[in-house]
């Protein structure tokens, strides 16, 4: 793997470095970065997993309103006085909000969530009536 930046044949190295330098400006990134999500349907429940490393469980807010599940988090980046100078600093996960429409089969009073090893797990149990029923054999008389 090559870690050296390719030099443009049309520009001398000095001009290329000048154009491609970010000047270590601490400009907040307002892009819409959303955590990756996995949604799995099982017989008795749905499971939602969000990849959100570097946060604490107190940073999250999960709410249900009008059939919409909203998961949000906010995290204030701490300023550290460190020895050494960063040439680039991209570790920042300021805030996000993801919303999901709940199916009618989900019981919103029994939703549960855990946060472990950078993954938020949200369990959405189904009503008993919505779960698959065992096969019933009917005897012929």
Give 78-90 pLDDT, tens digit per residue.
Answer: 555 566 777 776 6
Give pTM, 2 decimals. 0.63
- The count of C-alpha atoms lying within 13 angstroms of the C-alpha of 77, restricted to the half-sphere facing its C-beta, is 14
Tell me: pLDDT of 24 over 60: no
Enclosing H/E stretch for 46 = strand 45-51
Within-domain flag for 52 = yes
pLDDT for res 1: 43
CATH number of the domain encompassing residue 56: 2.60.40.790
Instruction: Name every residue whose Cβ is closer than 8 Å to that of residue 79 and which is 6 or more positions away in sequence.
Output: none
Q: For the chain, what is the domain count?
A: 1
Token pair, residue 105, equals 């089969």
Q: How confident is the model at residue 105 (pLDDT cuts 50, 70, 90)?
A: very high
Within-domain flag for 104 = yes
- pLDDT for 8-20, tens place per residue? 555 455 555 555 5
Within-domain flag for 61 = yes
Measured between alpha carbons, how far is 55 from 78 in angstroms, rounded to an integer?
12
Q: How confident is the model at residue 110 (pLDDT cuts 50, 70, 90)?
A: very high
Instruction: Name every residue whose Cβ is closer than 8 Å to that of residue 91 and which is 6 or more positions away in sequence.
Output: 54
Q: Average of pLDDT values for 91-115?
A: 88
Within-domain flag for 141 = no
pLDDT for res 39: 95
Residue 101: give the domain boundaries: 38-76+91-129
């Amino acid at each position: 793997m090559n870690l050296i930046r390719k030099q443009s044949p049309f520009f001398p190295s000095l001009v290329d470095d000048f154009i491609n330098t970010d000047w270590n400006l601490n400009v907040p990134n307002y892009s819409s970065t959303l955590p990756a999500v996995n949604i799995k349907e099982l017989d008795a429940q749905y499971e939602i997993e969000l990849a959100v490393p570097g946060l604490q469980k107190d940073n999250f807010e999960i709410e249900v309103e009008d059939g919409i599940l909203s998961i949000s988090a906010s995290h204030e980046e701490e300023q550290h006085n460190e020895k050494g100078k960063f040439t680039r600093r991209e570790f920042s996960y300021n805030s996000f909000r993801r919303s999901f429409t709940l199916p009618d089969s989900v019981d919103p009073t029994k939703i549960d969530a855990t946060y472990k090893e950078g993954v938020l797990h949200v369990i959405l149990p189904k009503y008993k009536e919505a779960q698959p029923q065992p096969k019933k054999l009917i005897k012929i008389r």
